[in-house]
């Protein structure tokens, strides 16, 4: 087994993603432009999927919510991911209406082996990476995506496996260059 201390810098790079949840899908282009200010050019936009596994966000954001995954071209060291949540929270603030969020942004990253999100909520399976920030390891890659038991239902049921496979391929191409 290779010594962890010998991992090359480019092996620690990750591809930023953001899971976008909203009832107003017409905002997508504006939201992506705002995210590109921090994450670089969006190079993947997934299709919208109904967010119907839980009513958790409906009181704040209304009914008929949809979720899509976007990925960004600029690769960053994985240890920088703790900053993602603050960046996306600032974008969420831009789109508040009457004190309520119109969009929920869950940032994270894809690398060759996993999908993680950066969370502002503590959890027994989450790993603290900065004050008020945890890494939520959701999917593992082993000849296909395998959802971990605590993954969001729409991540667990395969809804986004195709998106993550395409993002993973883009990431692998970028690393080769």
pLDDT confidence of residue 1: 35
Is 129 within 8 Å of 136 (Cβ atoms)? no
Mean pLDDT in each 10-residue stretch from start to end of the chain (177 residues)? 43 94 94 96 97 92 96 96 94 93 97 96 92 95 96 95 98 93
Domains of the chain: 4-176 (3.30.70.260)
In this prediction the pTM is 0.91
Report the alpha-carbon distance of residue 115 to residue 140 in Å, rounded.
Answer: 7
pLDDT confidence of residue 177: 84
Using DSSP's 3-state secondary structure scheme, residue 2 falls into coil
- Quote the longest CA-to-CA distance of the chain: 55
- Distances in Å between the Cα of 90 and the Cα atoms of 14, 87, 95, 108, 162 are 22, 5, 9, 15, 29
Is 43 within 8 Å of 65 (Cβ atoms)? no
Sign of CA dihedral 117, 122, 123, 128: positive
Q: Which residues pair with 133 in a beta bridge?
A: 130
DSSP notation for 114-168: EEEEEESS--TT-EEEETTEEEEEEEEESSSEEE-TTS-HHHHTSTTHHHHHHHH
């Amino acid at each position: 087994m290779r010594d962890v201390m010998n991992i090359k810098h480019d092996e620690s790079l990750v591809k930023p993603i953001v899971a976008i949840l909203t009832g107003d899908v017409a905002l997508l282009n504006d939201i992506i432009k705002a995210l590109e200010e921090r994450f670089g050019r969006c190079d993947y936009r997934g299709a919208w999927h109904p967010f119907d596994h839980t009513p958790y966000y409906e009181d704040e954001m209304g009914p008929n919510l949809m979720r899509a995954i976007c990925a960004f071209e600029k690769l960053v060291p994985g240890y920088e991911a703790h900053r993602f949540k603050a960046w996306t929270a600032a974008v969420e603030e831009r789109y508040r209406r009457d004190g309520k969020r119109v969009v929920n942004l869950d940032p994270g990253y894809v690398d060759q082996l996993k999908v993680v999100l950066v969370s502002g909520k503590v959890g027994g399976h989450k790993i603290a990476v900065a004050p008020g920030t945890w890494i939520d390891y959701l999917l593992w890659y082993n000849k296909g995506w395998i959802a971990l038991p605590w993954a969001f239902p729409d991540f667990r049921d395969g809804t986004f496996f195709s998106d993550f496979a395409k993002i993973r391929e883009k990431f692998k191409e970028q690393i080769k260059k």
